[in-house]
Chain A
Amino acid sequence: MSDAAKCIDTHLDRPVLVKALKEGTDKKRLLDEIRALQKIRSKHVVQIYDVVRDEDGEIQGLVEEYIEGADLTYLNPPTTAEDLMKLFYPIAKGIAEIHDHGHIHRDVKRQNMKFDGEGCLKIFDFGLARDETADASTIGPIGTPGYMAPELFVAGTNGKTSFTTAIDVYAFGVTAISLARGTMPNGLKGIPPKLPAADADFNGLPQSLPPAVATLLNQCLAADPTARPKMSEVAEELSLHLLHGQHRAFVGFSGRLYVLDATHPAADLSVAGQGALRVRYDGLRFLLENVTGHVALNNQQAFNGMVVPGSCVIMLGLPYPSARTAITIDVSHPEVTL
């Protein structure tokens, strides 16, 4: 349906995508919107290079970065939870970065994503400005059936629909469940969809996602937009689970350095008369256990089950002038560069 052609930029001798504007595009607002999109700093957003004008100077099309290969519509579903999360993560991250810059994509779907030759996920085809005074068939909700959040079908008192970044979160949920199954669940195809849909459940997938991840992804498909998580929360949770077993903590205690990781997951630390605790790695986080005596983490009373933040100082003993011992813990991990 989209009128787009691969062309060669003869100046730089490289392929570009030249795309005709969709019917009903509001050309007056288009340039303002394209300019606003330029502020997004994300490796996941396709670059717009130029516009194509006709003899009257009217914009007829866009010149974009050309991405080789197929979009994600017919991608074979990954078979493992890890590969599935590796697929979801850059999508969530890209949408989160779009939201960080105050934009709503408005047309998140499998057809609008591709991996480039370097394996970097690219998101394209923002739902750009529509001329609401044009032909009646273009009025109303913007988007693609199946990916449209239920609130988009509810007209406000002014006859227009209002929406937030939560529509992208919903569309991400639809994209994710469709990628996991290979097809869009029938339960999401209603106009509007009837939620929750029994066949759109991240808990029952053959890839067996970690329960915390499945729960969060299910919340993306909540009927109530305010019940959906922020896209950045989803990206963070996915990256945490992608690093399962790969975290490392450097524990500095009495002038020595101890390394905790998946093979050496726990350390008992104690100073007689001051306090004692155990630091244990559960594959995702470093937790405090067996806390006794006077133990403070970053100046907070320590407790069993407390999660060690990225970097902290644990103090054993009562505050000055008592004798105290400092333990530094610094957590690091390989960077997720997907």
Chain B
Amino acid sequence: MNGNLHKAGDIIGDRYLVLGFIGQGGMQEVYQAEDKLLGKIVALKAPKNLSAQKRFKRSAVVSAKVNHPNVAKTLDYVDVDENHAYLVEEYIPGKDLSRVLREDLPLLDPQIVARIFHHLARGLAASHHAGVIHRDLKPSNVMSVDGALVSDVKITDFGIAKMAEEEIAEAAEGGEESLTASQTAIGALPYMAPEIISSMKSADKPADIWSLGAMCFELLTGIKPFGAGLKAVSAIQAGKLPPFPTELSKSQFAPLAKDILSVVQKCLQLEQKARPTADELVKLCETFCYPANPREFGVVDSMRNAFFGFITAAAGKSVFFHRDSIFGANTAASGERVVFTRYPGEGSDRAFPVVKLRK
């Protein structure tokens, strides 16, 4: 995949050396670049076309207002000439959560979801304190540091959301056909609060809370709570959640999953005033109990019997696991790739939880 605007080797604003193309959203292309002055890697965002360009400066100013470890940091804004502007952001090594779901993990274990929920609530609270509403919170707008290991999460594209809103509003005015044609609108729909569906202009802070709740439901269950595509509209307006998957009833994981679900339900209330504020949401998430230890990738050696098995990781001792520690399954086959947290043990270390990666 290549960018249309730049290639590796281009220098922007006498300071940023383009290293490669990272990806694109509806409005912008994103490049990895090296800041030649400070000697660090940054993300360089460029609007795709002139109409996006007009909104770009305002979006940069909006995102620069938010300063929090769980929000991608805005570093610089470069106006090369009236047709070329760039937003420079902190580079986050990893991938967005929609890619993690698609490529690595069909659903995440409650421990990591609790941590993601807590940290995103904190990032969102910081933005609401600054008077900034995201308007388009969804897995593809959350960067996961180290991908499936989820070492950290950061909300991105704060400013872009306002641009997206305008595109969605235009699409909505154009009727169903243009709504379907708008990739941005379709991507946002499963996480969209009911009041936004009624009127794009009514996007306010509670809409972000709804979106965060909808997103965390999907992370926890692998299911978009109201489905995808235009069908989601009526389900959102009814505000009814699907049944909870049975994977989450396994005893080791059930209590935390239940805690998370109860907070998700508070976020997904049709009445805006009934939802917690971001500050209240942070307080709710602070009660979650989860280990925040780092995770690593591994490969299952074998199950020695019905109960135990061993994992080999890139570094360190072999790791013992009990089948009760496997998330969403009762057994693991030799050669299966997993993510786990390591705890010290004699002979072998111990893994908990063990989460299987997609094959």
A residues sitting closer than 8 Å to B (CB atoms) are 9, 11-14, 31, 34-35, 38-39, 43, 47-51, 65, 116-118, 120, 246-248, 250, 252, 255-257, 259, 298-300, 309-313, 326, 328, 330-335, 337
Q: Is the CB of B290 within 8 A of A335?
A: yes
Q: Is the CB of B291 within 8 A of A116?
A: no
Q: Is the CB of B252 within 8 A of A14?
A: no
Top 8 A-B residue pairs of the complex, sorted by shortest distance between their CB atoms: A298-B345, A35-B39, A43-B69, A311-B352, A300-B346, A257-B251, A38-B40, A12-B64
Which positions 34-92 of chain B face chain A at CB distance < 8 Å?
Answer: 37-40, 60-61, 64-65, 67-69, 73-79
B287, CB-defined interface residue at 8 Å: yes
| Min CB gap B240→A, angstroms | 30
**With A65-B67, A311-B291 as contacts: A299 and B347 at CB distance below 8 Å:** yes
- A256 neighbours in B (Cβ, 8 Å): 251
B293, CB-defined interface residue at 8 Å: yes
Q: Is the CB of A310 within 8 A of B293?
A: yes
Q: What is the chain A residue whose CB lies nearest that of B70? A: A43
Q: What is the chain B residue whose CB lies nearest that of A320? A: B305
**With A12-B74, A250-B255 as contacts: A309 and B344 at CB distance below 8 Å:** yes
16 intermolecular pairs with C-beta atoms under 8 Å apart: A9-B64, A12-B77, A34-B38, A47-B75, A51-B37, A118-B67, A120-B68, A250-B251, A257-B252, A298-B344, A299-B347, A311-B341, A326-B307, A328-B325, A330-B325, A333-B289
- A322 to B286: give the CA distance in the assembly, Å: 44
Q: Which of B61, B69, B252, B344 contacts A13 (CB 8 A)?
A: B61
Interface string of B322-359 (1 = CB under 8 A from A): 10110000000000000001011111111110000000
- A49 to B75: give the CA distance in the assembly, Å: 6
- A39 to B38: give the CA distance in the assembly, Å: 10
B122, CB-defined interface residue at 8 Å: yes
- A255 neighbours in B (Cβ, 8 Å): 251
- B324 neighbours in A (Cβ, 8 Å): 252, 328
Q: Is the CB of B288 within 8 A of A252?
A: no
- A334 neighbours in B (Cβ, 8 Å): 286-289
Q: Is the CB of A116 within 8 A of B322?
A: no
Q: Which of A14, A39, A120 contacts B69 (CB 8 A)?
A: A120
- A309 to B343: give the CA distance in the assembly, Å: 7
Q: Is the CB of A313 within 8 A of B322?
A: yes
Q: Is the CB of B325 within 8 A of A335?
A: no
B111, CB-defined interface residue at 8 Å: yes
| Min CB gap A49→B, angstroms | 6
Q: Which of B38, B61, B76, B287 contacts A35 (CB 8 A)?
A: B38
- A313 to B65: give the CA distance in the assembly, Å: 48
**With A299-B346, A328-B252 as contacts: A118 and B288 at CB distance below 8 Å:** no
- A43 to B145: give the CA distance in the assembly, Å: 14
B129, CB-defined interface residue at 8 Å: yes
- A292 to B343: give the CA distance in the assembly, Å: 25
B115, CB-defined interface residue at 8 Å: yes
- A298 neighbours in B (Cβ, 8 Å): 320, 343-346, 349-350
| Min CB gap A192→B, angstroms | 36
| Min CB gap B334→A, angstroms | 20
Extra 19 A-B pairs, beta carbons < 8 Å, given A14-B65, A117-B67: A12-B77, A14-B64, A34-B38, A38-B39, A50-B37, A50-B76, A116-B67, A299-B346, A309-B345, A311-B343, A311-B350, A312-B343, A328-B324, A328-B325, A330-B252, A335-B115, A337-B118, A337-B122, A337-B286
B238, CB-defined interface residue at 8 Å: no
Q: Is the CB of B345 within 8 A of A299?
A: yes
- A43 neighbours in B (Cβ, 8 Å): 69
- B111 neighbours in A (Cβ, 8 Å): 332
- A252 to B74: give the CA distance in the assembly, Å: 46
- A229 to B86: give the CA distance in the assembly, Å: 46
- A117 neighbours in B (Cβ, 8 Å): 67, 129
Which positions 249-280 of chain B face chain A at CB distance < 8 Å?
Answer: 251-252, 254-256
B126, CB-defined interface residue at 8 Å: yes
- A47 neighbours in B (Cβ, 8 Å): 73, 75
| Min CB gap A117→B, angstroms | 7
B292, CB-defined interface residue at 8 Å: yes
- A118 neighbours in B (Cβ, 8 Å): 67-68, 125-126, 129
- A11 to B351: give the CA distance in the assembly, Å: 49
Q: Is the CB of B38 within 8 A of A48?
A: yes
- A334 to B125: give the CA distance in the assembly, Å: 18
| Min CB gap A251→B, angstroms | 10
- A332 neighbours in B (Cβ, 8 Å): 111, 256, 289-291
- A257 neighbours in B (Cβ, 8 Å): 251-252, 254-255
| Min CB gap B58→A, angstroms | 10
Q: What is the chain B residue whose CB lies nearest that of A300? A: B346
- A118 to B111: give the CA distance in the assembly, Å: 25
| Min CB gap B62→A, angstroms | 10
- A247 neighbours in B (Cβ, 8 Å): 289
Q: Is the CB of B350 within 8 A of A312?
A: yes
- B61 neighbours in A (Cβ, 8 Å): 12-14
Q: Which of B64, B256, B320 contacts A313 (CB 8 A)?
A: B320
| Min CB gap A301→B, angstroms | 9
